[in-house]
Amino acid sequence: MNLLHMKYAIEVAKAGSLNKAAQVLLVATPNISRSIKELEGDLQITIFERTASGVKLTPEGEEFINFANEILSQIDRVEKHYKAGVPHKRKFSISVPRASYISEAFSQFSKELGKEPCEIFYKETNSQRAIHNMVNHDYKLGIIRYAENYDKYFKAMLEEKGFGFEIISDFTYSLIMSAENPLAKKDKIMFDDLKDYIEIAHADPYVPSMPISKVVKEELPDNVDRRIFIFERASQYDLLHDNPETFMWVSPPPESLLERYNLVWIKCDENKKVYKDVLIYREGYKFSELDNLFITKLYESRRKYL
């Protein structure tokens, strides 16, 4: 039995008319009529009889409405009992690429949450999953990362899905590796220098309306024979620290992270490909206090590191 249908029936009984009940409930009359029919079908009774002036309760209908009022009254008491005195929780949710400057912003954001109750959801993932989380899992914000040459594909997709967006930053990837890696001592690193080393990479590139095989081929060039695909960022840095043969392409990292893992950050002049990090949100979405706080920290981190 649908509680919403029960509420509709109570309002129709009060108003004595489907149309009047529809006006009070701000629901289309056909929807209310269909709900009453479904309710009567579930219970196998007739709740209302049609009259020239509207509708009236049958004897079975009167009995049902009494039961319905008792049930909804009990539900109301339960909700008041458990919700009384429970403070409102502030909520924040975002999906982001695996980027150190963004996680740094999130760390600074967490320091200013205050003492009020809150629930925070922070998901590191690829662009496809970030969009999926907003469409299907009620995430309020997302940051997607893509190569500049795919700009038209992503903008068309975002507009189609009703997303607003703004560019946070654009950058070229640089190299990160252990200070013990032999390449760390070179003045200049070229693509060919990397072929004998192990690349740590993400295995989930995505571009809307393009075959994944083509995207993978462009994002993972053929100049490296050994790759380890790791989706979780902490394990990436553990591996970079422990294995001097490894390297990874990254957006500019905080100095504190390099010191923590004994890593070095090196630019590669041959790498000219530009990437964009783009903030996305539902068109017309009103940013909350926590949203604005995180975005402030995000731009502070971008200015500091990018």
Predicted confidence at residue 216, as pLDDT, reads: 63
CATH of residue 202: 3.40.190.290
Predicted confidence at residue 206, as pLDDT, reads: 67
71 and 182 share one domain = no
Cβ count near 167 (within 10 Å) = 10
**How far is residue 268's CA from residue 252's CA, in Å, rounded to a whole number?**
12
Mean per-residue pLDDT pooled into runs of 10, the chain (306 residues): 85 88 86 88 89 88 90 85 72 95 96 94 93 91 94 92 94 95 92 94 71 68 86 91 96 92 93 94 94 97 91
24 and 169 share one domain = no
Query: Helix (H, G, I), strand (E, B), or coil: what is residue 176?
Result: strand
Q: Counting beta carbons within 10 angstroms of the beta carbon of residue 296, is it exposed (0 to 12), middle (13 to 18) or buried (19 or more)?
A: middle
Predicted confidence at residue 210, as pLDDT, reads: 64
**How far is residue 89's CA from residue 63's CA, in Å, rounded to a whole number?**
40
Structure tokens at 278: 């783009």
* The dihedral sign for the CA sequence 229, 235, 241, 243: negative
CATH of residue 24: 1.10.10.10
Structure pTM? 0.69
Strand partners, 200: 228, 248
Predicted confidence at residue 140, as pLDDT, reads: 95
74 and 104 share one domain = no
240 and 180 share one domain = yes
183 and 204 share one domain = yes
Q: Which of 46, 67, 83 is the last residue of a domain?
A: 83
66 and 178 share one domain = no
Enclosing domain of residue 166: 90-305
113 and 239 share one domain = yes
207's CB contacts (< 8 A; 6+ apart) are 146, 150, 153, 154, 215
Whether the Cβ atoms of residue 16 and residue 54 lie closer than 8 Å to each other: yes
Query: Helix (H, G, I), strand (E, B), or coil: what is residue 128?
Result: helix
